[in-house]
Structure 1
Amino acid sequence: MHMTDAEFESAVEDALAGVPERFRAALDNVGIAVADEPDEREMDSMCDPDGELLGLYEGVPITQRTSAYGGVMPDVITVFKGPHERLCATRDEMVREIRTTVLHELGHYFGFDDEYLHAHGY
């Protein structure tokens, strides 16, 4: 399945817009980015070197921020277009997977680990 860059970015924005307001309001010092493919450093963060990296959270989860947290670069959630295109056969499937990826990476921002997120469908 292929999406234009604009369609992919719009699907990511729609996924963010679907996050309940109380969680969106808690987002602080975090940016959302879209990239075509993960680079080597980003791929090295994966537990399964043969898998696809759909998204990546890099930063300090809010559950680990202390009163000393400040003056730091923003956290970044990156959603990768190429892996989504390779894994999804239809537009609807891709939109659902983008939403799942966004929610998964936001879960890391809120302090949840991969085990918890996968156990709950993210």
Structure 2
Amino acid sequence: MREQAPLLNGPDAAAIERLAWDALRRIPAPFARYLSDIVMVVEEFADDETLAHFGMTDPYQLTGLYRGLPIGEKSSFDVAPNPDEIHLYRQPLIAEWQQTRVDFEKLITHVVVHEVGHHFGLSDDDMHALEDAAG
């Protein structure tokens, strides 16, 4: 078990979730119609198992995560698939915000669009174009 990281002050989970939903609503068509079933989850940090999966030891390394099958891998034959989820990690987001001084809403939009990009299997360049459109 990792040592407890110090907690930072900043927007609470409810505020982050509101910003994340706002960012998701700004995603343009044709992407938007495939995002209605996304579940948004805001947690303080990623759990140890998730960090270990990505080879991370610092809980501040991960600000967001998409969990689910990318659109291109889904099938109508899937039996009761788990819902697609976007996880946002509050403490790492606050730390990045405090370190970079970027606008917090823009940071949340950046992370949400990046995770949506994973949902669609997009390249980094495509994610940047989508972020510009959702900005």
Class of the TM-score when normalised by the shorter of the 2 chains? 0.7 to 0.9
Question: C-alpha separation between the residues in 2 aligned to 1:7 and 1:87?
Answer: 16
The corresponding residue for 1:15 is: 23
The percent identity for this pair of structures is 28
Deviation at 1:47, TM superposition (A): 5.4
Cα gap change, 1:91 to 1:19, in 2 (>3 Å): farther
For 2:11, give the aligned amino acid: M
Task: Report the counterpart of residue 13 of structure 2 in structure 1.
Answer: 5
SS at match of 2:39: strand
Residues 1:106 and 2:126 aligned together: no
TM-score, normalised to structure 1, is 0.79
Structure 2: distance between partners of 1:67 and 1:6: 34
Question: Taking structure 1 as reference, are residues 56 and 118 closer, same or farther at Cα in structure 2, changes over 3 Å only?
Answer: farther
Q: 5+ residue gaps in structure 1? A: none
Deviation sequence 1:14-69 (CA, Å, 0-9, x none): 11121114322112643121111110112123355556101111111111113422
How does the TM-score come out when normalised to structure 2?
0.73
Q: 1:31 to 1:118 in 2, by over 3 A?
A: same
Return the alpha-carbon distance in structure 2 between the equivalents of residues 56 and 119 of structure 1. Answer: 18
- The alpha carbon displacement at 1:91 in A equals 7.3
For the structure 1 residues 86 and 103, does the alpha-carbon distance in structure 2 shift closer, same or farther, using more than 3 Å as the test?
same
Root mean square deviation, CA, Å: 2.6
Structure 2 gap segments, 5+ residues each: 1-8
Output the amino acid matched with 2:104. M
Within 5 Å, which residues of 2 pair with 1:59-98?
59-89=68-98, 93-98=103-108
> 1:83 & 1:118 partners in 2: Cα distance?
24
Change (3 A) 1:65 1:41: same
Contact kept, 8 Å, 2:117 with 2:127, in 1: the verdict is no
Give the whole-Å Cα distance in 2 for the aligned partners of 1:87 and 1:55: 12
